[in-house]
């Protein structure tokens, strides 16, 4: 497999702070989106999301190529055991789940011709966009949007909230509570899959078959509202939305704004792979 196009960009413009990672070899192509740091805490100089992304990439790099998603998750979770031990947070992660190094990921297997999506990453092939949105995110996005739109109706101006996102500050404690639904009972509409070192119910993993005639596939994080067959189209759509909705409360509703000085509302990664 060969990468045709690629782009990785931190929301701050400083890629040393980026929590996204990607990998492509002759067996797997994957994009990994480390979860945003809602605790504000660093571990050995890195955010939980950075540790998650690094750990997952390392595990995928050592796979033989014939693994199914259960095998991949098991290999990743074994790496997580070492990570939690080295960071000395084995007990804390049980009490404070929001500090866990967590990530979404999307993996394409060349051997199985399948895409596996854990969390809210996305892919595009044969003219079709495949996303995996979380219900609990939609709830928080609506709450944040209502709060900020109410502030604007009350005389506030957009620029004020690009300095301090009061909507995000309001939902931040709720997002911390959201971690209790990670890899939970699939029958609950609030449960969602995430890579965090714990078992993932198969019912929460989205599986997409890739036909043999597909030559190219694009994989991306949710730092892009939607993706297309080319990086140029994908970037153009993002920039259009950032221009008309920097607070991310209308057409591109989300949990975070494009804060002043940042280049977007989230880290973003896009790879187009010849498979």
CATH number for the domain whose boundaries are 2-135+182-238+266-274: 3.60.40.10
d(CA 259, CA 257): 6
Mean pLDDT of 113-128: 98
What are the pLDDT digits (tens) for 260-272? 999 999 999 999 9
d(CA 183, CA 54): 20
List CB contacts of 15: < 8 A, sequence separation 6 or more: 8, 9
What angle in degrees, to the nearest 10, is found between the helix axes of 166-178 and 135-153?
160
DSSP letters for 253-275: --S----TT-SSSS-EEEEEEE-
**Helix (H) or strand (E) segment spanning residue 236:** helix 231-244
The pLDDT value given to residue 218? 99
What are the pLDDT digits (tens) for 129-185? 999 999 999 999 999 999 999 999 999 999 999 999 999 999 999 998 999 999 999
The pLDDT value given to residue 142? 97
For the chain, which residues make up each domain, given as ranges? 2-135+182-238+266-274
pTM flag (> 0.85):
yes
């Amino acid at each position: 497999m060969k990468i045709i196009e690629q782009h990785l960009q931190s929301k701050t413009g400083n890629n040393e702070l980026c929590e996204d990672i990607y990998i492509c070899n002759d067996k797997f192509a994957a994009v990994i989106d480390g979860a945003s740091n809602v605790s504000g805490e660093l571990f050995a100089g890195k955010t939980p999301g950075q540790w998650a992304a690094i750990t997952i990439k390392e595990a995928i790099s050592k796979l033989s190529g014939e693994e199914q998603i259960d095998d991949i998750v098991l290999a990743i979770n074994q790496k997580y055991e070492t990570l939690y031990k080295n960071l000395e947070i084995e007990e804390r992660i049980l009490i404070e789940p929001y500090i866990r190094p967590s990530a979404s990921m999307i993996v394409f297997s060349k051997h199985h011709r399948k895409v596996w999506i854990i969390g809210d990453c996305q892919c595009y092939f044969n003219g079709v966009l495949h996303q995996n949105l979380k219900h609990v995110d939609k709830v928080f996005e609506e709450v944040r949007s209502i709060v900020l739109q109410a502030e604007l109706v009350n005389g506030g101006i957009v620029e004020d909230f690009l300095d301090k996102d009061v909507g995000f500050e309001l939902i931040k404690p709720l997002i911390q509570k959201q971690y209790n639904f990670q890899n939970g009972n699939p029958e609950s509409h609030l449960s969602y899959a995430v890579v965090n070192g714990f078992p993932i119910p198969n019912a929460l993993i989205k599986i997409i078959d890739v036909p043999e005639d597909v030559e190219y596939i694009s994989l991306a994080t949710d730092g892009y509202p939607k993706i297309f067959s080319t990086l140029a189209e994908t970037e153009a759509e993002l920039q259009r939305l950032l221009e008309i909705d920097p607070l991310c409360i209308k057409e591109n509703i989300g949990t975070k704004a494009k804060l002043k000085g940042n280049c977007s509302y989230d880290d973003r990664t896009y790879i187009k792979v010849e498979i």
